[in-house]
Amino acid sequence: MARFIGKRLAIMLITLVAASFLVFAVSEFTPGSVARKTLGPYANQEQVDILSQRLRSNDPLLIRYTRWLGIILGLEADPLQDKSLGLGFTDPRGARYFGNLGYSTLYKLPVNDVIWDRLSATGLLAGLSFALIVPLSLVVGVASGVRIGSKLDRGLSATSIVLTSIPEFASGVFLTAFFVVLLGWLPGTSPLSTTGGWSVASQMVLPVAVLVLYDFGYVARMIRASVAEVVRRPYVRTATLKGLSRRKVIMRHVLRNAMIAPFTVLLLQVNFLLSGVVVTELVFAYPGFGRMLLEASLFGDISVIEAATLVTLTIAILCQLIGDLGYMVLNPRIRIS
């Protein structure tokens, strides 16, 4: 078991290095140098050239990538923080420390001062949504899966297909029009500050609703299919025939076996909820991770993009690891093989 996890973590490290290198290489093709972005559009070329030279931006790609790795590992000082450049870029943690993600040219702040707040804001949004998506999709999925073709199944299936097909920006606007403009029950934007006179809790309602409506139908459909397959299995018939109550059959025999496939799907939703929520964040002006990543990408802020890549990849790989472990718990056959 320990070996398995160790192996997985090693693969994770390799994936992180490979992916960060890819992002580094691809960003070569976006216009604008780090020096130009640092100094802004009105700085003259002379200044930009001098800064580029001092940042050694003209070195070959591989050397610059290694330097970037060195900065993260704390082996090298971040050149942008060099006081003699006169940029006023300072990090209270110092220029050289383990986990130094560099300086954002867009926000003109250390990346470590930008992304964690944003990540926790999105974490809140994602966590609340996930906490609703799981039980909701389970109930709907099981209820329709155990009696495929029944009126209840058709009704639930139709509802979840319709909800999943409405894109987030559309449902965001519909819900806002109804609950904000027409009824005035909820705030229309979610900047997570209370200066607007609305509690943070009230600001969470609409974004969470949009994500849950969009996502739960899809997961419910997965669970439904899986449950439908399991209820046809001989051991379920046996359980029913030996006189177990329907409730016990579903809870003990159907659910556990039917969850094996949807379990992965559920974990994949964590990834979606962290980096795929950008539309919802835009619609509600939610100060989250997705919007930050979008702004940074449009600007070409390589430090923030790299940091966000590392963070989302780590979360994705950890989710996968948890998925594999969960698989083992749910399915003894995998453990044995």
Stretch that binds another protein, among 38-46, 77-85, 148-156, 212-220 (CB under 8 A): 38-46
Q: What are the structure tokens assigned to 133, written together?
A: 């998506």
Task: Burial-class residue 134 by CB neighbours within 10 Å (0-12, 13-18, 19+).
Answer: middle
Give the count of beta carbons closer than 10 Å to the beta carbon of residue 319: 18
Binding mask 91-130 for another protein (x = CB under 8 A): ---------------xxxx----x----------------
Work out whether 300 is an interface residue with another protein (CB under 8 A): yes
Nearer to another protein, 130 or 286 (CB): 286
Show the DSSP H helices in the chain as ranges: 2-26, 34-39, 45-54, 61-73, 111-145, 151-165, 168-175, 200-230, 234-241, 246-248, 255-258, 260-275, 278-283, 289-299, 302-330, 332-336
Say which residues have a Cβ less than 8 Å from residue 119's Cβ, sequence separation at least 6.
Answer: 274, 289, 311
Give the count of beta carbons closer than 10 Å to the beta carbon of residue 263: 20
Work out whether 311 is an interface residue with another protein (CB under 8 A): no
Which residue in 162, 298, 322, 329 binds another protein (CB under 8 A)?
Answer: 298
What's the distance, CA 193 to chain centroid? Answer: 23
Cα separation, 195 vs 112, in Å, equals 26
Work out whether 172 is an interface residue with another protein (CB under 8 A): yes
Q: What are the structure tokens assigned to 267, written together?
A: 């974990």
Cα separation, 162 vs 1, in Å, equals 43
Which residue in 60, 88, 92, 243 binds another protein (CB under 8 A)?
Answer: 88
Stretch that binds another protein, among 75-83, 134-142, 178-186, 223-231 (CB under 8 A): 178-186
Work out whether 28 is an interface residue with another protein (CB under 8 A): no
Nearer to another protein, 28 or 46 (CB): 46
Stretch that binds another protein, among 18-26, 138-146, 286-294, 315-323 (CB under 8 A): 286-294
Stretch that binds another protein, among 9-17, 133-141, 190-198, 239-247 (CB under 8 A): 190-198
Work out whether 42 is an interface residue with another protein (CB under 8 A): yes
Beta bridge partners of 110: 103
Residue 203 CB, nearest approach to another protein (Å):
9
Nearer to another protein, 148 or 205 (CB): 205
User: Which backbone phi and psi does 285 adopt, to 5 degrees?
Assistant: 50, 40
Which residue in 14, 151, 195, 333 binds another protein (CB under 8 A)?
Answer: 195
Point out which residues bind another protein (CB under 8 A).
30-32, 36, 39-47, 88, 106-109, 114, 172-173, 176, 180-181, 184, 186-189, 191-193, 195-198, 282-285, 287, 291-292, 295, 298-300
